[in-house]
Structure 1
């Protein structure tokens, strides 16, 4: 949950999240929602280290094109390395709020856990509306951290911990549930909203994604949680049956073809 301290750790974290069972499940939903076909030009905004670029490239074929955009030079370098065998993949620097693309220049576009971090998600969606052709699709996947539930006998600390995440850790923590409304406001026709519950029944698997000790330490250092109580709560999570869950929303929008 808290960002790793260097690029290598961040890339490893993203790879681990993508390889987890919940990660594979929602990513498959996102790929299906894009409805890619050979010859399509597809845009991945916030492509990170290029985890999904090759899969999209295989679907659109050499007659299509995949464009990955990210603001982080280390991510761009890794994405270029991973897609070197795919000449129809282009990776370039860019800002989601001001995409370096012409109007109506792509058939499909997606964001994957990007909008939750942006300063202005509405501006990013307006940019997607600008660059996607009439009749084209966008597919967005975002968690709704306000749905995070962690089972523990100390329910008060569980609730305080999740409240801290929503209020202090993630910039747009409940954006998952807002995607349909935001797409509508941006001028898209919403075609689908699909929830995927990421369910964890093993502490270590969950911690690889949620990074609970790191977040908890941040919380008690800020004064949001009591350190001793929170340490006891963390220990209890490792010693008994474990359950945590959070809902991801995959939402698809189409650019209207009738401007009258």
Structure 2
């Protein structure tokens, strides 16, 4: 479940439940841990988690002894995060205007955020501003064209995935991470891909969201969307659902 998908759902308690379910998956926990390691998260370091959602990443960084700040443009998410993690520094702010002084943080993390940005270059300019020389940046996200979903109707599945991708501000941001970071002046850019494989019902809300997006855009009829979702639900019930989701992890260093 991505933040963008979840934020389109209501009411807010449903949104939080969906994000919690996704964040609790072993693959998600491993990916977060990898991101902290790539950041060099150590006691005394100062780091910002951009698009922090309900604050899990900020709390986990704080548990490592990091002085962590979480920012998110959604005030509802920040309210939930403050209730869950008392004493953690959480603020309402977006990626283009961080509430930080120049060269004030050692690490910048953005997990499933850049596909929501119409101007990723602007966000990276802001990241450069707040990072100290030699500071670390880590970006995590999925490419919205690379959902691998087993289905009886491959052509319909391609249509649904592509139509949903077309509704995203930056559906292919993840494949651009390396170029974006290099263009922004970052150094030592490295890319990893970790693929999550899901075979149970946990990711059904994500699949339902894909179909709903394709239906709302007019790419498929409501009947075809409903039939596709019904097939995925049946697959989940029969332990035959298959979703593979490559997650791209980019890490780089701010120039000295």
Of 58, 64, 68, the residue aligned with 2:63 is 58
Contact 2:111 2:139 in 1 (8 A): yes
1:206 is matched with 203
Equivalent pair of 1:145/1:246 in contact (CA under 8 Å)? no
Which aligned segments of 4 or more residues in structure 1 are displaced greater than 4 angstroms?
Answer: none
Kindly provide the CA deviation profile for residues 222-256 of structure 1, in whole angstroms up to 9, marking residues without a partner as x: 32113333333332223342211121111111011
The equivalent residue for 2:137 is: 138
Counterpart of 1:34?
A: 39
Q: TM-score, normalised by structure 2?
A: 0.90
1:18-77 per-residue CA deviation (whole Å, 9 max, x = no partner) reads 012332232222222111111101111111111111210121x2xx51111122222222
Superposed CA offset, 1:170-216 (max 9, x none): 221111111111111111114321101121122x12214x1x23432
> Which position in structure 2 is the counterpart of 1:253?
252
Q: Is 1:234 the counterpart of 2:232 in the alignment?
A: no
Task: Show the counterpart of 1:74.
Answer: 76
Q: Distance in 1 between matches of 2:163 and 2:89?
A: 39
C-alpha RMSD over aligned residues: 1.7
Question: What residue number does 2:219 align with?
Answer: 224
Aligned to 1:7: 12
> Distance in 2 between the 1:244 and 1:110 partners?
26
Greater shift, 98-107 or 233-242, is seen at 233-242
2:164–2:211 Cα contact (<8 Å) kept: no
Contact 1:69/1:91 (8 A) holds in 2: yes
Looking at structure 2, the residues matched to 235 and 70 of structure 1 have their Cα atoms a distance apart, in angstroms, of: 34
Describe the SS at the equivalent of 1:172: coil
Q: Number of paired residues?
A: 247
Determine the structure 1 residue equivalent to 2:171. Answer: 173
Moved more, 20-29 or 39-48: 20-29
22-31 vs 181-190, which moves further: 22-31
Partner of 1:187: 185
Residue number in structure 1 paired with 2:124: 125
Deviation for aligned residue 1:129: 0.6
Cα pair 1:192 1:252 within 8 Å, conserved = yes
Relative to structure 1, the CA distance from residue 221 to residue 27 in structure 2 (aligned partners, 3 Å threshold; closer, same or farther) is same
CA distance in 1, matches of 2:61, 2:191: 21
| Stretch moving more, 144-153 or 226-235 | 226-235
Give the gaps of 5 or more residues in structure 1. Answer: none
Q: Residue 112 of structure 1 corresponds to which residue in structure 2?
A: 111
Matches within 5 A, 1:141-160: 141-160=140-159
